[in-house]
Amino acid sequence: MKPGKPKKSTTIRRNRITAYTFLLPNIIGFLLFILVPVIASFFMSFTSWNGFGNIEFIGLDNYVQLLKDENFKISFLNSILFMVISVPVTLFLSVLIAVILNQGVRFVKVFRTAVFLPYVTATIAVAAVWQLIFNPTMGPINGMLMKFGIDQPPGWLSSPSWALISVSIVYIWHSIGYYMVLFLAGLQSIPDYLYEAADLDGAGPISKFFKITLPMLSPVLFFTTIIGVINSFKVFDLIYVLTGGGPGRSTHVLVYDIYNSAFKQFEYGYASAMAYVLFLLILLISIIQFMGQKKWVNY
C-alpha cells in the first residue's frame, strides 16, 4: 500500500493541473471581461466622466438625477411593459408547442427543428426580415389585412401605439424555440405511470394536464420564468435594428437608454448608474420569484 500512495498522489495532482489548465482561459476571460468591468462600472456610477480627462467623484448625484430624468422613467416603464407582454406569451406558447410535440406526432423532429431554428438564427438577420414583414405599404401582413377589408392597417414599427407590441412579437417568435426545448426535456422526464394511473381513474386530457403535467413541469417553468424575465430586460439588438428606440420614445427600454448614455452622449458614470438600477430591478424580481416558488413549485 505504501509504495502506491505517492503514485496515486502524483496522478491526482496531475489531473488537477490538467483541469485547471483547461479552466484557465475561461477564468481569465471571466475576470477580464465580466468581473473587472462590473466592479469598475460600480465605482464609475458614483462619478462624472465622458471618457476623456479626469474622473470626477460626485457621490449619489447620478442616482438622484435618474429620479428626475423623464427619459429614464419612460425607458423603465417600457422595459416593464415589454417583460409583461413577452414573457407570459412566450412561456405559454412554448408549453403548448412542447405538449403537442410530445404526443408523438409524425415528423416531430422536423417540427422541433423548425420551431428551434429562429433561436439559432442571427438576431440581426431576424430583425431585418421582420422589418420587411412589418412594412406598412409592401409588407405581407398589411397586404393580407387590406385583402380582408381593413383599409388602414396598423403602422406596426412606425406607430407609437404598435411599435413595442411589434418588437414583442418578433422577440416571442425568436425565443420560443429555446424554451420549447426545455419544456420538452421536462415533459419527457415525467413518469408514464402517473398518466396510466390517471387513465384508470378516468381522467381526461385537460384534467391530466392541470393535475399531472403542469405540477410536474413547475421546476422547469420556474427556471424558464427567471431566465425569461432576465432576457426580456436585456433586449437591445432587436430594438436597435427594428425601431432604433422610436418612433418617439415608444420603444426606449433601459438597455437602449444605457447604450445611448454611454456611447452617444459619453456619460459613462450616468450610464453605469442606470445599469446598476437595472441590475437591482432584475434582482428584486428574481427574489420575489424565489420567495413565491414554495407555493407553486413541486420538486
- For residue range 136-155, list pLDDT tens digits in order: 888 899 999 998 888 888 88
Task: Take residue 122 and report the three cell numbers written for it.
Answer: 442571427
- The helix/strand/coil state of 48 is strand
- The radius of gyration of the chain from alpha carbons, rounded to an integer in Å, stands at 25
Separation of alpha carbons 114 and 181, rounded Å: 12
Separation of alpha carbons 108 and 203, rounded Å: 26
Provide the whole-model pTM. Answer: 0.89
Q: Of 252, 250, 249, 275, whose CA–CA distance to 262 is shortest?
A: 275
Q: Of 256, 229, 233, whose CA–CA distance to 72 is shortest?
A: 256
- For residue range 57-89, list pLDDT tens digits in order: 999 999 999 999 999 999 999 999 999 999 999
Q: Residue 127: its pLDDT value, please? A: 93
Query: Percent of the chain at pLDDT above 70?
Result: 97
CA 15 to chain CA centroid, Å, is 37
Q: How many CB atoms lie within 10 A of CB 256?
A: 22
Q: Are the C-beta atoms of 82 and 168 separated by less than 8 Å?
A: yes
- The helix/strand/coil state of 47 is strand
Secondary structure element (H or E) that encloses residue 212, with its range: none
- Cβ-based neighbours of 60, under 8 Å, separated by 6 or more: 46
Q: What are phi and psi of 51, to 5 degrees?
A: 95, -15
How far the first Cα of the chain sits from its last, in Å, is 45
Which residues of the chain are modeled with pLDDT < 70? 1-8
Q: How many CB atoms lie within 10 A of CB 269?
A: 24
Q: Residue 8: its pLDDT value, please? A: 67
Q: Residue 5: its pLDDT value, please? A: 53
Q: Residue 7: its pLDDT value, please? A: 64
Separation of alpha carbons 5 and 231, rounded Å: 50
- For residue range 30-58, list pLDDT tens digits in order: 999 999 999 999 999 999 988 888 889 99
Q: Residue 78: its pLDDT value, please? A: 96
Q: Are the C-beta atoms of 143 and 132 separated by less than 8 Å?
A: no
Q: Are the C-beta atoms of 279 and 258 separated by less than 8 Å?
A: no
CA torsion, ordered 228, 233, 234, 237, to nearest 10 deg = 100
Q: How many CB atoms lie within 10 A of CB 112?
A: 17
Q: Residue 1: its pLDDT value, please? A: 45
User: If phi over 0 gives left and psi between -120 and 50 gives alpha, with beta otherwise, what is residue 51?
Assistant: left
Q: Of 187, 171, 297, 190, whose CA–CA distance to 229 is shortest?
A: 171
